[in-house]
């Protein structure tokens, strides 16, 4: 948003210099990215033409003598409208013009010209280049041109957050300044004189067929106008706003939108076929050629302004070419309306068409300003284009001006911020921002609470904490000091699992992982790359882009994408992790689950190293024994993927990414990932470590190597072995082999058995009997046999 220092001063009498104002606006959340000085071009002065003579060596050129106040100089000029006695803008040698043009002394057909007389385009005040710019009134000779015409200004380029649509206007920013400075806002003139009015009855009925998308539509007819270029003051304001001048009527509507934040649109009344204006949904198959000369295909969920026959504008976004205001226009219909933000936003994205108007409607305009903005524009149009304003104005529906109520406790401000802001200061700040404060003294239940009525232009205020933020930012965030937390009466139970997350971050950081944060919204491209079905995903009704169409069903899609970007920027040996929410449908509702995901792209990394990292996570969280079971996922290699179970609950999975997916993301084949259900893991975590006495008697270790069928899972062997005797303390697998000397379809697995008795030292014969029992069990159950050494 571009804001003019002079325009702001016109609305609020504040004492700040441009630099001071920029600092204060930034401090209250309206970040000033850049300060530009408009009309500071040096070397352009007011001059008076003294004589005009023909150029001796060129028929179309003239030698013009001008008085610049300090000197009288002769310049070569080809403009047809130079006349003696005229006041003009003279750019002397060394002058800097808009666009970075520097004026130099040149020789034109044998005559030296140490400067130039400027046209409108050369001065950056319009597009006219047919002649030099002439001023009818006398100005001070030699004075800086922009200063002489009162055009010097300072422009603030303000970065607004998406929730502050109220500040997409000079008025909105002026309200903020008034709150900072403790001043009142002066509204511009909305009233027109009686001699400017004519009365007509039943001129043009208006009908709203989609009130849920347009609850209020107002319009006014202005007759007998003359379309022409805008006067200099208006063109300059349009240029300062960042737009381009078009004509006097269109420029007024753009200026009022910049000034008050309410978009307006003028129609050429004569081109409106039919006896009425209809606000309706588009019909399937309808099309409209918009002002940018492009045909737009419309659909039934789009709101249009139509005559009796066809659409004439896309509501809240852009008008149609057939009804635009041109030089031949004599009567106009001026539109001002309140359109549904969701409707405008959805249509804008579907048509890939945005405008200054749509950016304001999408964020929500002030319904109470609709008719005032129309009145303001009517006053200015009559001023710059003449004509008569037709009364009464036209309209249908009612503006949605019901005020929101928010209960507010002044003590909450000090509790949240740690400041000591008196309640009367909070009340003053809220009132200065346009809120209405009512203290409920009658209801004893609400003693100490205020009812705060939110003005229609503040769509971002919903809760008490929003009001706390308003008071804190106006009072000054920089006044909030640094303080240590007060000791409490003891910590409560960690219901959110933050202690588990903190522990996991430490574990994974120690394992070489870097944490990243990705967007919870995801597009079709990533989902399809992982062979995901889109049928059961939760979709966003009005996505900001096709890359944000669905709520993510897993974390690893985007994490692999991040790994791909980094790997292809020549970052090798990557270990990335993320903690966040994933989303799924559950009986028609959205189910959120907290998850932990990790991706590794590293030379020499393998499935078992990843399994080791996962085991370390479970060990640190004291989850207890879990099962690692073979599983089949469309994005993992068969035989290098596992799901993790605790009882019957699946608490995660991990594996090697399938090579076709690696190719899609330009990743090496050694790419592995894991994803764990944090909610389940948190519930299974046993918290504090329990210590046991060290064993008093020695352990006996036996190593066994078995050949078993390929499909037999090591965890199944471990589970059944542990049940054979209470004196087996641990089963540890240490080797896996397939190849020569092993039959096809079989594998060799080696494991250690740790035996220990709590009350005595086990003898060799006792251990032999346990071992023989285990060997026979494995032979009977899986036809396993001991591998020869």
Phi, then psi, of 675 in degrees rounded to 5: -140, 130
**pLDDT over 70, % of the chain:** 96
Decide: 291 and 318 in contact? Cβ < 8 Å.
Answer: yes
Residue 372 has what pLDDT? 95
Collect all residues with Cβ–Cβ distance below 8 Å to 204 and sequence separation of at least 6. 219, 221, 272, 275, 276, 277, 333, 394
Segment 329-364, tens digit of pLDDT: 999 999 999 999 999 999 999 999 999 999 999 999
Assess whether pLDDT exceeds 90 at residue 713.
no
Assess whether pLDDT exceeds 90 at residue 567.
yes
Query: DSSP per residue over 701-729, as a string?
Result: EEEEEEEEETT--HHHHHHHHHTS-TTEE
Assess whether pLDDT exceeds 80 at residue 86.
yes
Assess whether pLDDT exceeds 90 at residue 710.
no
Residue 444 has what pLDDT? 45
Average pLDDT, the chain: 90
How does 238-263 read in b/e, with b if 16+ C-beta sit within 10 Å? bbbbebebbbbbbbbbbbbbbbbbbb
Mean per-residue pLDDT for 55-74? Answer: 90
Residue 711 has what pLDDT? 85
Query: DSSP per residue over 520-572, as a string?
Result: SEE-HHHHHHTT--STTSPBPSS-SSGGGSEE-S-SHHHHHHHHHHHHTTT--
Lowest mean pLDDT among 250-259, 295-304, 565-574: 565-574
Segment 127-147, tens digit of pLDDT: 788 899 888 767 888 888 888
Decide: 713 and 629 in contact? Cβ < 8 Å.
Answer: yes
How does 374-410 read in b/e, with b if 16+ C-beta sit within 10 Å? bbbbbbbbbebbebbbbeebbbbbebeeeeeebebeb
**pTM flag (> 0.85):** no
Segment 494-530, tens digit of pLDDT: 555 788 888 999 999 999 999 999 999 999 889 988 9
Mean per-residue pLDDT for 21-26? Answer: 94
Terminal Cα-to-Cα distance of the chain (whole angstroms): 80
Residue 687 has what pLDDT? 57
How many whole angstroms separate alpha carbon 445 and alpha carbon 544? Answer: 44
Assess whether pLDDT exceeds 80 at residue 100.
no
Look at residues 721, 748, 747 and name the one whose alpha carbon lies nearest to residue 732: 721
Lowest mean pLDDT among 451-460, 679-688, 692-701: 679-688
Residue 557 has what pLDDT? 94
For 297, how many CA atoms within 13 A lie in the half-sphere containing its CB?
3
Decide: 437 and 386 in contact? Cβ < 8 Å.
Answer: no
Mean per-residue pLDDT for 636-647? Answer: 88
Question: If you ran DSSP here, which 8-state letter would residue 424 be given?
Answer: H
Cis peptide before 392 (omega within 30 of 0): yes
Look at residues 262, 14, 41 and name the one whose alpha carbon lies nearest to residue 145: 41
Lowest mean pLDDT among 61-65, 76-80, 554-558, 645-649: 645-649
Segment 594-618, tens digit of pLDDT: 999 999 999 989 998 999 999 999 9
Mean per-residue pLDDT for 211-220? Answer: 95
Residue 789 has what pLDDT? 57
Mean per-residue pLDDT for 34-57? Answer: 89
Assess whether pLDDT exceeds 80 at residue 484.
no
Residue 479 has what pLDDT? 86
Residue 332 burial (C-beta neighbours within 10 Å; 0-12, 13-18, 19+): buried
Mean per-residue pLDDT for 575-600? Answer: 90
Q: Are strands 277-281 and 206-208 parallel, antiparallel or unpaired?
A: parallel
Assess whether pLDDT exceeds 80 at residue 203.
no
* Confidence band of 234 (pLDDT split at 50, 70, 90): very high
Return the CA Rg of the chain: 38
Residue 239 has what pLDDT? 92
* Confidence band of 442 (pLDDT split at 50, 70, 90): low
Q: What is the dihedral of CA 453, 458, 462, 465, to 10 degrees?
A: -90
């Amino acid at each position: 948003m571009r804001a003019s220092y002079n325009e702001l001063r016109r609305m609020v009498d504040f004492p700040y210099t441009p630099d001071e104002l920029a600092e204060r606006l930034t401090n209250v959340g309206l970040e000033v990215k850049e300060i530009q000085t408009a009309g500071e071009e040096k070397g352009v002065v007011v001059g008076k033409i003294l004589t005009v003579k023909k150029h001796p060596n060129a028929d179309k050129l003239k030698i013009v003598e001008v008085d610049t106040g300090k000197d009288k100089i002769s310049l070569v000029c080809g403009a047809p409208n130079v006349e003696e006695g005229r006041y003009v803008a003279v750019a002397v040698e060394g002058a800097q013009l808009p666009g970075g043009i520097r004026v130099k002394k040149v020789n034109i057909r044998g005559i030296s010209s140490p400067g130039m007389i400027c046209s409108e385009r050369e001065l950056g005040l319009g597009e006219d280049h047919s002649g030099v710019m002439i001023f009818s009134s006398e100005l001070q000779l030699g004075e800086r041109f922009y200063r002489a015409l009162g055009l010097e200004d300072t422009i603030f380029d303000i970065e607004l957050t998406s929730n502050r649509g109220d500040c997409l206007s000079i008025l909105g920013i002026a309200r903020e300044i008034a709150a900072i400075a403790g001043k009142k806002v002066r509204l511009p003139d909305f009233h027109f004189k009686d001699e400017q009015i004519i009365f007509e009855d039943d001129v043009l009925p208006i009908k709203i067929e989609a009130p849920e998308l347009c609850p209020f539509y107002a319009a006014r007819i202005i007759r007998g106008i003359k379309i022409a270029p805008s006067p200099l003051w208006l063109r300059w304001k349009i240029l300062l706003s960042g737009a381009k001048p078009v004509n006097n009527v269109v420029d007024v509507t753009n200026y009022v939108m910049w000034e008050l934040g309410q978009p307006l649109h003028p129609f050429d009344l004569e081109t409106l076929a039919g006896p009425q204006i209809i606000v309706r949904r588009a019909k399937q198959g309808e099309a409209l050629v918009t002002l940018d000369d492009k045909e737009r295909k419309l659909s039934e969920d789009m709101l249009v302004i139509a005559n009796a026959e066809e659409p004439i504008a896309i509501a809240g976004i852009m008008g149609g070419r057939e009804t635009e205001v041109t030089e031949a226009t004599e009567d106009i219909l001026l539109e001002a309306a309140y359109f549904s933000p969701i409707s405008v936003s959805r249509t804008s994205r579907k048509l890939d068409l945005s405008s200054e108007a749509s950016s304001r409607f999408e964020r929500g305009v002030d319904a109470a300003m609709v008719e005032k903005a129309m009145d303001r524009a009517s006053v200015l149009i009559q001023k710059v284009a003449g004509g008569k304003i037709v009364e009464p104005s036209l309209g249908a529906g009612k503006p949605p001006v019901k005020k929101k109520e928010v209960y507010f406790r002044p003590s909450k401000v000090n509790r949240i911020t740690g400041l000591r802001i008196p309640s009367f200061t909070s009340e003053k700040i809220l009132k200065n921002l346009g809120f209405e404060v009512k203290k409920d003294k009658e209801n004893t239940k609400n003693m100490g609470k205020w009812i705060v009525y939110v003005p229609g232009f503040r769509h971002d205020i919903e809760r008490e904490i929003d009001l706390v933020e308003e008071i804190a930012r106006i009072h000054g965030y920089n006044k909030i000091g640094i303080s240590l937390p007060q000791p409490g009466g003891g910590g409560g139970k960690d219901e959110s699992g933050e202690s588990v997350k903190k522990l996991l971050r430490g574990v994974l950081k120690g394992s070489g992982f870097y944490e990243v944060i990705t967007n919870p919204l995801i597009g079709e491209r990533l989902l399809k790359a992982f062979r995901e079905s889109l049928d059961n995903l939760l979709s966003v009704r009005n996505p900001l882009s096709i890359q944000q169409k669905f709520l993510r069903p897993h974390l690893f899609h985007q994490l692999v994408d991040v790994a791909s970007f980094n790997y292809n920027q020549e970052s090798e040996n990557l270990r990335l992790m993320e903690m966040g929410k994933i989303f799924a449908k559950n009986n028609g509702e959205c189910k959120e689950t907290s998850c932990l995901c990790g991706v590794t792209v590293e030379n020499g990394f393998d499935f078992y190293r990843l399994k080791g990292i996962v085991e370390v996570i479970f060990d640190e969280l004291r989850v207890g024994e879990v099962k690692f079971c073979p599983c089949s996922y469309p994005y993992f290699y068969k035989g290098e993927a596992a799901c993790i179970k605790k009882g019957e609950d699946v608490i995660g999975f991990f594996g090697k990414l399938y090579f076709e997916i690696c190719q899609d993301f330009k990743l090496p084949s050694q790419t592995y990932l894991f994803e764990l259900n944090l909610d389940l893991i948190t519930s299974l975590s046993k918290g504090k470590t329990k210590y046991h006495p060290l064993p008093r008697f020695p352990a006996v270790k036996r190593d066994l190597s078995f050949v078993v069928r390929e499909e037999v899972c090591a965890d199944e062997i471990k589970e059944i072995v542990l049940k054979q005797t209470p004196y087996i303390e641990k089963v540890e697998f240490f080797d896996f082999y397939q190849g020569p000397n092993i039959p096809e379809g079989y594998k060799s697995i080696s494991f250690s058995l740790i035996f220990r008795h709590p009350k005595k030292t086990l003898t060799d014969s006792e251990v032999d009997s346990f071992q023989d029992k285990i060997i026979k069990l494995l032979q009977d159950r899986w036809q396993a046999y001991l591998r020869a050494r």
